[in-house]
């Protein structure tokens, strides 16, 4: 757990950083080469996908006379930052070079010393930054320190892509909760299962592979008891060498099958949230299997998100049924939606739908997703977008 003070808005500190500032059209910053190098930083950063929380994913590239002389990425919290690895790889070549880094260099002593000082000491001539670090311990201070040392600093190259890379980290810092993603797969007539609850499979294998990738990038995946009873899922990322999220089950009654796949914890850990005093025998059985059991009363999505924030989590994937999804949305625990739509029709007035009652009566109250992207995945369609209250 980290204890970070409330954030001051970085755009108030860094004029022209573009952070949360949509009031004027942004100019394209930097050359094509600068953009290519920043995209390389993002590629490097993603090598640590799912493994850096509570820290961000960061990549760095050092260029001298048009050639890459050093690269690095941040592997996990407690280990050196991306800039340190890149400086080490560049050695003497760092003097007079340009360093590209997807997040503003830090300027504080945390688990590691300030990268700003390391860059000054190495004698770099220019620093190209993807986006400002919203962490109040940094928040423009790294950039100011570099400029004060006479280093040229360019801020905002591939800014949107750099922010998207760390939308979990940014949300965590700004809102003191993990970033919530609701993922569901439904038929063309809006059902997530048949009337009997059968749901394997709504989508094609390409879409399922996309979900596995999504899990690999999240710190936790949350389901309710019904999903365990009906689908008996693994909830792993099913990829050799990839990160597996913590598998979280929310169950008030703890009326769950003893032989569910999720209690097998050799591949990935499992945490069950329940209410005080629920089914003590089953709690003991789970603990004996190596499953963590935590009592939270009343058991709500927000309490779970607050708990996971304290554990240092940046991003959480809701893969639950409609009732829990509606509660999570109502309590502000969802910022982004991944909806897979399969060209199938199952019918059934009582077949389950992805989101339960939100208490809306007029279409004008509908939650209209923003920054929507639509893709074809195999034979299915993926709609990705942000709930209206979310800003990047």
Alpha helices (runs of H) in the chain, residue ranges in sequence order: 10-13, 32-45, 82-90, 115-122, 141-148, 159-165, 167-175, 205-216, 225-231, 280-288, 301-310, 322-330
> For the sheet containing 246-250, what is the strand order?
292-295, 270-274, 246-250, 220-224, 315-318, 179-187, 336-342, 380-386, 370-377
Dihedral of CA atoms 114, 1, 162, 373 in degrees, nearest 10, equals 180
Residues 6+ apart with CB under 8 A from 328: 180, 182, 301, 318, 320, 334
- 351: annotated binding-site residue? no
Residue 99 to residue 44: CA distance in whole angstroms: 14
Judged by CB, which is closer to ligand LIKH6CAM: 178, or 354?
178
Judged by CB, which is closer to ligand LIKH6CAM: 55, or 251?
55
- 176 lies in the site for ligand LIKH6CAM, by CB under 6 A: no
- The residue among 261, 321, 329 whose CA lies nearest residue 301 is 329
SS3 state at 336: strand
- The residue among 64, 61, 108, 105 whose CA lies nearest residue 85 is 61
Q: Which stretch binds ligand LIKH6CAM (CB under 6 A): 15-23, 101-109, 278-286, 337-345?
A: 101-109
Q: Which of 81, 163, 183, 215 binds Zn ion (CB under 5 A)?
A: 81
Subset of 38-67 contacting Zn ion (CB under 5 A)? none
- 106: annotated binding-site residue? yes
- 170 lies in the site for ligand LIKH6CAM, by CB under 6 A: no
Judged by CB, which is closer to ligand LIKH6CAM: 72, or 352?
72
83: annotated active-site residue: yes
Q: Which of 112, 204, 213, 226 binds ligand LIKH6CAM (CB under 6 A)?
A: 112
Secondary structure (H, E, C), 286-307: HHHCCCEEEECCCCCHHHHHHH
The CB-of-106 to Zn ion minimum distance in angstroms stands at 3
The CB-of-295 to ligand LIKH6CAM minimum distance in angstroms stands at 30
Q: Count residues near ligand LIKH6CAM (CB under 6 A).
A: 20
Residue 48 to residue 10: CA distance in whole angstroms: 26
Dihedral of CA atoms 167, 11, 8, 141 in degrees, nearest 10, equals 90
Catalytic residue from among 43, 71, 79, 83: 83
* 58 touches, from ligand LIKH6CAM, Zn ion, none (C-beta below 5 to 8 Å by class): ligand LIKH6CAM
Judged by CB, which is closer to ligand LIKH6CAM: 127, or 250?
127
Stretch (H or E) spanning 154: strand 152-155
Q: Which of 37, 106, 314, 316 binds Zn ion (CB under 5 A)?
A: 106
- 162 lies in the site for ligand LIKH6CAM, by CB under 6 A: no
Subset of 251-270 contacting ligand LIKH6CAM (CB under 6 A)? none
Q: Which stretch binds ligand LIKH6CAM (CB under 6 A): 108-116, 197-205, 304-312, 359-367?
A: 108-116
The CB-of-141 to ligand LIKH6CAM minimum distance in angstroms stands at 10
- 56 lies in the site for ligand LIKH6CAM, by CB under 6 A: yes
Residue count of the chain? 392
Residue 227 to residue 159: CA distance in whole angstroms: 38
Residues 6+ apart with CB under 8 A from 8: 136, 139
- 82 lies in the site for ligand LIKH6CAM, by CB under 6 A: yes
- 81 lies in the site for ligand LIKH6CAM, by CB under 6 A: yes
Residue 225 to residue 87: CA distance in whole angstroms: 49
Q: Which stretch binds Zn ion (CB under 5 A): 102-110, 191-199, 324-332, 378-386?
A: 102-110
- 330: annotated binding-site residue? no
- The residue among 143, 108, 131 whose CA lies nearest residue 5 is 108
The CB-of-240 to Zn ion minimum distance in angstroms stands at 31
- 102: annotated binding-site residue? no
Residues 6+ apart with CB under 8 A from 25: none
Judged by CB, which is closer to ligand LIKH6CAM: 101, or 268?
101
- 201: annotated binding-site residue? yes
- Give the footprint of ligand LIKH6CAM on this chain (CB under 6 A): 55-56, 58, 74, 77, 81-83, 101, 103-106, 110-112, 115, 133, 135, 138
The residues carrying an active-site annotation are: 83
Q: Name the residues that contact Zn ion, by CB under 5 A.
A: 81, 106, 115
């Amino acid at each position: 757990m980290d204890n970070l003070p409330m954030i001051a808005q970085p755009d108030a500190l860094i004029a022209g950083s573009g952070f949360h500032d949509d009031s004027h059209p942004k100019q394209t910053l930097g050359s094509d080469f600068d953009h290519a190098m920043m995209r390389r930083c993002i590629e490097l950063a993603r090598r640590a996908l799912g493994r850096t929380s509570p820290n961000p994913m960061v990549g760095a590239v050092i260029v001298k006379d048009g050639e890459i002389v050093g690269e690095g990425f941040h592997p996990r919290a407690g280990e050196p930052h991306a800039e340190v690895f890149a400086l080490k790889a560049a050695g003497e070549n760092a003097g007079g070079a340009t360093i590209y880094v997807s997040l503003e260099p830090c300027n504080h002593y945390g688990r590691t010393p300030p990268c700003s000082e390391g860059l000054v000491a190495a004698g770099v001539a220019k620093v190209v930054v993807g986006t400002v670090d919203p962490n109040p311990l940094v928040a423009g201070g790294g950039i100011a320190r570099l400029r004060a040392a006479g280093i040229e600093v360019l801020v905002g190259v591939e800014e949107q892509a750099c922010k998207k890379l760390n939308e979990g980290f940014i949300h965590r810092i700004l809102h003191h909760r993990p970033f919530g993603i609701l993922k569901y797969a439904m038929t063309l007539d809006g059902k997530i299962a048949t009337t009997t609850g059968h749901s394997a499979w709504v989508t094609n294998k390409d879409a399922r592979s996309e979900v596995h990738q999504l899990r690999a990038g999240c710190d936790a995946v949350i389901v309710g008891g019904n999903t365990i009873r009906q689908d008996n899922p693994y909830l792993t990322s099913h990829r050799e060498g990839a990160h597996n999220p913590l598998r979280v089950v929310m169950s008030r009654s703890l009326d769950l099958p003893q032989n569910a796949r999720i209690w097998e914890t050799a591949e990935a850990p499992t945490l069950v949230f329940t209410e005080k005093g629920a089914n003590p025998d089953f709690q003991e059985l789970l603990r004996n299997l190596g499953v963590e059991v935590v009592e939270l009363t009343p058991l709500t999505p927000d309490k779970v998100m607050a708990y996971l924030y304290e554990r240092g989590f940046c991003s959480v994937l809701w893969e639950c049924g409609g009732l829990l999804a509606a509660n999570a949305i109502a309590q502000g625990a969802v910022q982004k939606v991944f909806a897979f739509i399969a060209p199938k029709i199952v019918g059934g007035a009582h077949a389950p739908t992805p989101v339960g009652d939100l208490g809306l009566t007029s279409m004008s109250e509908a939650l209209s997703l923003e920054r929507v992207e639509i893709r074809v995945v195999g034979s299915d369609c993926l709609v990705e977008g942000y709930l209206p209250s979310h800003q990047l």
